Amino acid sequence: MCIRLLAAAALLGSVSADSPADPQTAEPPTNSEAAEEEGIREDITEERATLWEKIEGFFGSMPKYVHVSLKRGTNYGLQEHFCVDKDLWSDDTVVSCDCCMDHLIGDPLSQSALVYKSSKEEAPAFERYEDGSTRQVGMVNVWSIGGRIPAVLCDRGRLVCHCEDPVRGWAEFEPACRRGHPCQPPEEVLEGVSVGYEAPVEEEDSSSNASMLEVVGVEGVQGVQGEAPPLTSCAIGRIPLGLAFCEDFSVEQCEKTYSRTKQGIHHLCAVDPKTFRHCGATLMTEEEARKRTEEARSWAIQNSYSPELDWKVLTVNFTTHVIEDPLPPADIFEAKVLERMDAQGTLEKLNE
């Protein structure tokens, strides 16, 4: 089952005072292919929006709140440990999703700007099972990415970050292998007794000349004059994945495989050029995460300074150093993040 997780926030653990503590499950957006495939994206605007936001929405536009799960777990408390052995967790352990920025390694200023206001937060924790089903099991402590909170997924025993926070308009993308169009599975090979070369020749059936790519009577898919359109054969140039999922394979191998869902439907694996980034999460102490943030923030401050900025500086021997206490305002760094989000069409992707 394709895992295009569209993780939002439940305000990602930070419920506002004006919002109910346990909103009811809402219907998924009907125009969201991912919601239909995964069943974990949820519009909860009616439950989460404040009275003032609803009044504003009456005259204009109202912000949209999205929750990470349609199939919620019964326990929404903070998990003492998650996905990995509990001996690896302690009271000050946080999940780090720095891997969400790995693709920015050639742009250190964008990396540093992204984590400028990072801190400890609670994020939704999901469990994904061998049959492809996914559900939320609670919350887990994470070190945010500049206040942006990725979801955390235990994908069949592997701790994974889902690099998206639609409430705060942030996401990181990458090409990845995903489930594509349905395909015609190969016929099962049945053992039997060979009739040899002397088998009687029966009258030729006109249907035997039909293409192996055609499927007759596919429910819900009609061609010209009610005939079913042809489906591509799964077996042409591809190998079956067995119990694996398309996203388990690299982009280079993707177009050579096909998968079978738990409902028995066969699909070609296809490369999605712009899907939400998934990467391996790491565990660290809160102190270690804070130190890394302070180092990145200091680098960003010193390398972003220009004379027109109203920042406190100290010049010694013709060398100017920005005074970091108090910290310069985050506006210039947030603007850089927003500029990059606009350039990659983040909001358009989040609103699909």
pLDDT digits (tens, 9 = 90+) for 182-233: 998 887 766 666 555 554 555 544 433 333 233 333 333 343 444 545 678 8
**178 touches 4 (CB < 8 A):** yes
pLDDT-above-90 percentage for the chain: 39
Q: Over 90: is that where the pLDDT of 165 sits?
A: yes
pLDDT-above-70 percentage for the chain: 66
Q: Over 60: is that where the pLDDT of 239 sits?
A: yes
- Compute the average pLDDT of residues 151-180: 93
Residues β-bridged to residue 148? 145
- 164: pLDDT confidence band, cut at 50, 70 and 90? very high
The C-alpha atoms of residue 169 and residue 164 are separated, in whole angstroms, by 8
- Residue 118: the pLDDT is 94
Q: What is the DSSP string of 18-84?
A: TS-SSPPPPPPPTT-HHHHHH---EE-HHHH--HHHHHHHHHS-----EES-SSB-S--SBPSS-SS
- Compute the average pLDDT of residues 131-142: 89
Which residues in 312-351 belong to E strands, given as ranges?
A: 313-316, 319-322
What is the tens place of the pLDDT at every residue in 97-133?
A: 999 999 998 999 999 999 999 999 999 999 988 877 8
Q: Over 70: is that where the pLDDT of 265 sits?
A: yes
What is the tens place of the pLDDT at every residue in 13-72?
A: 343 333 333 333 333 333 334 333 444 445 555 666 666 665 555 555 556 555 554 444
